[in-house]
Structure 1
Amino acid sequence: MKLEKITHEASAPRECRYDDACGTALALEFIGERWSLLIMRELVFGPRRFGEIRANLPGISANVLTQRLESLEEVGIVLRYRLPSPANVQVYDLTDWGREAAPLMRDLGRWAARSPRHDRSLFMSAASAMMSLQALVDRTRAAELSVLVAFHFPGEDFVVTVTGGEIVVNRGVVEAPDVTFTGDTMAMRRTIYGKAPLTRDGTGATLAYVGKADLARSFVDLFSLPAKNA
């Protein structure tokens, strides 16, 4: 039964036209198919290999991922290229135009998180966790803080810069950050959104941190989940 479902999805029409001049209708033609927007989310912070994208989208088949990437490439949202040596691997990335959709994804995520149906216990990729910081930051508080924070997730590293009320996220590592957090995305949610006590060594269920305690706490206090829609 599962194979039938995947086959049906993979053989679905790749183009869905609404015959509507509204830009929203055109956007849905580009990214309205299942998985398309989540694939874009995984590429917001830089190029990813096919296997890395698939690993962060539980439930997607290789066949469907291939199809969605091809569709996004055809309309100019995604590009494919090979990294130079010594990596020498094929990766997928957002075009400059495709990356312009990042604020829209953040706004959409913040809007949907207000639903009582939002299940905070489900899987969350590292890219999704980092995007949530940009979506749920208190910019008034952020204007009063300047901090460089490193996040070490299993197999993925990010650098978060807070300055002038803005929060910038990049993949990679940085020397001498003010604070370094280590753990998985569930530990990140418990620590940052659940406001679990900060500890140097973590508990497995919460992030461990290294650095200045006052900056770590000030950083965590920048973020909160939106109130649920009644």
Structure 2
Amino acid sequence: MTGMRSYGDPCGVACGLDIIGERWALLIVRDLLLGPKRFGDLHAGLPGISPNVLTQRLRELTEHGVVERRDLPPPARVRLYGLTDWGRALEPVLLHLGRWGSQAPAVPDGRLGVDSILLSAKAAFDPARVAVSDRVYELRIDADTYCVEITGGSLHISRGTAPSAPDATLATDLDTLRAICDHRLTLAAAVDSGSLRLDGPEHARQGLADLLLAPFDHAPSS
């Protein structure tokens, strides 16, 4: 951990910032909350970070026990980066920070990544608004698949297919999803144009749409 700066303060806040306070560190954790990623996928999801800085942050987070590396055996020969149990414990902190930051008076221009969109849905989840206690959805966004499970009033989102037949599925591309979240396109128009497909019984389709778009369910600013 040579070269890493420290506040030299035993307070838990300062100790936490010693580990995740460097630029990009917390965003790397954010992009690993839904499951492990390859280096190239992490780099693609973090516009503005250089490969060298990403390598350095991953090394630091690994040394601190927040991130772990896993090499898949042949023929895959792929190195994955994922969160340790201790790293995953940062999820409520990040969700709360996201809710707090969404109220910022000025929001920078830029495009939301798929991880940010799905974590926004998780941060906005309100079990009181859910009509059923258990439900499983599957999202297919470009080449990636995500499983969304509501169990006992809790919401869990992860990369991968649903463990059982989903109640509803949604398939689209990230640009279409962004356009819907930004209110540049309605869900109905996306379905009519064929750029988004929503399958399942009507009540389950509606539940999935409400869940996904809840954080963006406001009138666009003028």
Per-residue CA deviation, residues 55-96 of structure 1 (Å, 9 max, x unaligned), is 111111111111111111111111112013332211111111
| 1: CA distance, partners of 2:55 / 2:115 | 20
Superposed, 1:189-228 pairs within 5 Å as 189-191=178-180, 194=183, 196-198=186-188, 201=191, 203=193, 207-222=196-211, 223-225=214-216
Partner of 2:112: 124
Superposed, 1:5-24 pairs within 5 Å as 14-24=3-13
Find 1:165's aligned residue among 143, 150, 153: 153
Whether 1:92 aligns to 2:81 is: yes
* Preserved contact between residue 143 and residue 163 of structure 1 (Cα < 8 Å): no
Partner of 1:137: 125
| 2: CA distance, partners of 1:224 / 1:22 | 34
* Preserved contact between residue 138 and residue 146 of structure 2 (Cα < 8 Å): yes
Q: CA deviation at 1:147?
A: 2.3
| 2: CA distance, partners of 1:143 / 1:210 | 19
Root-mean-square deviation (CA, aligned residues, Å) is 2.6
Q: 1:146 to 1:173 in 2, by over 3 A?
A: same
| 2: CA distance, partners of 1:102 / 1:183 | 26
Superposed, 1:16-95 pairs within 5 Å as 16-95=5-84
| 1: CA distance, partners of 2:45 / 2:131 | 32
| 1: CA distance, partners of 2:175 / 2:111 | 8
Q: Structure 1 stretches (4+) deviating beyond 4 angstroms?
A: 189-195
* Residues paired across the two proteins, number: 213
Per-residue CA deviation, residues 30-54 of structure 1 (Å, 9 max, x unaligned), is 1111111111112112221111110
| 2: CA distance, partners of 1:37 / 1:115 | 18
Q: What residue ranges of structure 1 are gaps of 5+ in the alignment? A: 1-12
TM-score by length of 1: 0.81
| 1: CA distance, partners of 2:44 / 2:132 | 37
Find 2:103's aligned residue among 114, 128, 148: 114
* Preserved contact between residue 72 and residue 80 of structure 2 (Cα < 8 Å): yes
Q: CA deviation at 1:118?
A: 2.6
Opposite residue 215 of structure 1, the aligned amino acid is A
Q: What residue ranges of structure 2 are gaps of 5+ in the alignment? A: none
Q: 1:188 to 1:147 in 2, by over 3 A?
A: farther
- Secondary structure, aligned partner of 2:87: helix
Same amino acid, percent of matched pairs:
38
Q: CA deviation at 1:26?
A: 1.0
